[in-house]
Amino acid sequence: MSPARIERRVLVAGILIVAAVLIVALSTAVAGAQDQAAAVGSVLSTSTAAVTTVAPSVTTTSVASGKGVFALDFTLPTFGKSGCMVCHGDPNLVVAQGDLTHSFWIDQTAYEKSAHGTTVCTGCHVDYGYKAPHGQAGQDWRAVAKQACKNCHPDQYRDWSLGAHAIAPLPGKVPDPKAAFKPLCGDCHGSHDMVILKNNPEGQRQVHGQSEQMCGRIGCHADFWANYNDYYHGAAYKTGAGDAPACWTCHGTHTVLASSNRLAPTNSENLGGTNSCGTPGCHSGANSGYTAYAPMIHGRAKISAENPIVRFFNSVLGR
């Protein structure tokens, strides 16, 4: 074998060895990165699961406080809103959903004037403190954000958990098949533009007028919103009367119960006293005779239709 031929074979072998080493090294690097990502994902899902349980762990309390520190590596900054607002501050930020586009723009000015204006994004979007892009498969980021309220408002969350809107069944009760459609905190209270209520009469007035948005939307209680039209309550409320009752004035706020429930303030046995009709500032001292008016509040059309004179005219007019 000539020396030149030997040299060429050594050169090829050397190249193959270097290539093999490079391939092994790259494979190792990729595998290592995947393992690391899996590890982070595992911690992330554990953290999310933790904050969605009734009793949050110590770790998640600090995570979800809105002012706490993430002890893990993350890509997006969590101490302020600037990282998120790089993209979400752009009014043109939309995501195509079928034939429609959905805006993901956050009006930072409005947000900072809201009740949570000092809370950082990851205070509610607790599952977004780590990586971009968002919306990995299996994440219900909306549900996480809509329930994150409980980390700062545990009393209200407990009250909600005892009412008809609670997802988890009460002890001794079977799971509600409609649980997936029940409202979370954010479904009623909104999100980025929540008004300040404390020492803010204008904010209180504004929220007082939001019965339709909170309770009477299509898919929720649109039927009860439509038939809330008696003289002094519903019809007056719909013209913006500040002294007419909102849904929660009678039905209660977080522990909302069906009127058939004996504990409900709107149960026929509980309408007087300081409940519903007897709410302070309304009809103090309302007795059972007085509360006999209550069926009018959601049943004016029905009671009217049952009136013999109305029935006569309806039959004459062929209605």
Partner 1 sequence: MFAIILAQVNIWLDVVFTTVYVIMLVVLPIHFLASIPVGRFRKKWILKQWPEHDEPHPPALPKYIHFQHLVMMFVLGFTGLAIRFPFIDGGRTTLRYVHYVAMVIVTLTFFWRLWYAFASKRRDWRAFALTMKDLKSTPGVLLYYSFISNSKPHTDKYNVMQKAAYLMFALFMLLQMLCGFALLEFWTIPLINITPSALLLGWWLAPMTGGLAMAVAWMRILHYALTWMFIILTTIHVYLSATEDIPVTKDFFGFGEHHEAEDGHGRTAVAASAE
Q: Which residues would be at the binding site for partner 1 (CB under 8 A)?
A: 231-232, 235-236, 238-244, 283-290, 292-296, 299-300, 303-304, 307, 309-310, 313
Altogether, the residues listed in the chain come to a count of 319
- Residue 161 CB, nearest approach to partner 1 (Å): 34
**CB 47, CB 127: distance < 8 Å:** yes
Question: Residue 167: beta bridge partners?
Answer: none
Residue nearer to partner 1 on the CB measure, 103 or 287: 287
- CA–CA dist 120, 74 (Å, integer): 15
**CB 80, CB 69: distance < 8 Å:** no
Residue nearer to partner 1 on the CB measure, 49 or 226: 226
Q: Measuring CA to CA, which residue among 84, 218, 61, 90 is closest to residue 152?
A: 61
**CB 263, CB 251: distance < 8 Å:** no
Residue nearer to partner 1 on the CB measure, 98 or 280: 280
- Residue 233 CB, nearest approach to partner 1 (Å): 10
Residue nearer to partner 1 on the CB measure, 224 or 290: 290
- Residue 305 CB, nearest approach to partner 1 (Å): 10
Alpha helices in the chain (DSSP H): 3-51, 58-64, 82-88, 108-113, 121-124, 141-147, 154-161, 185-189, 201-208, 211-214, 222-226, 236-238, 247-251, 295-306, 308-316
Residue nearer to partner 1 on the CB measure, 104 or 313: 313
Q: Is 236 helix (H, G, I), strand (E, B) or coil?
A: helix
**CB 203, CB 114: distance < 8 Å:** no
Residue nearer to partner 1 on the CB measure, 174 or 309: 309
Residue nearer to partner 1 on the CB measure, 36 or 284: 284
- Residue 258 CB, nearest approach to partner 1 (Å): 21
- Residue 252 CB, nearest approach to partner 1 (Å): 21
Sign of CA dihedral 65, 67, 71, 76: positive
- Residue 294 CB, nearest approach to partner 1 (Å): 8
- CA–CA dist 197, 60 (Å, integer): 27
- Residue 216 CB, nearest approach to partner 1 (Å): 17
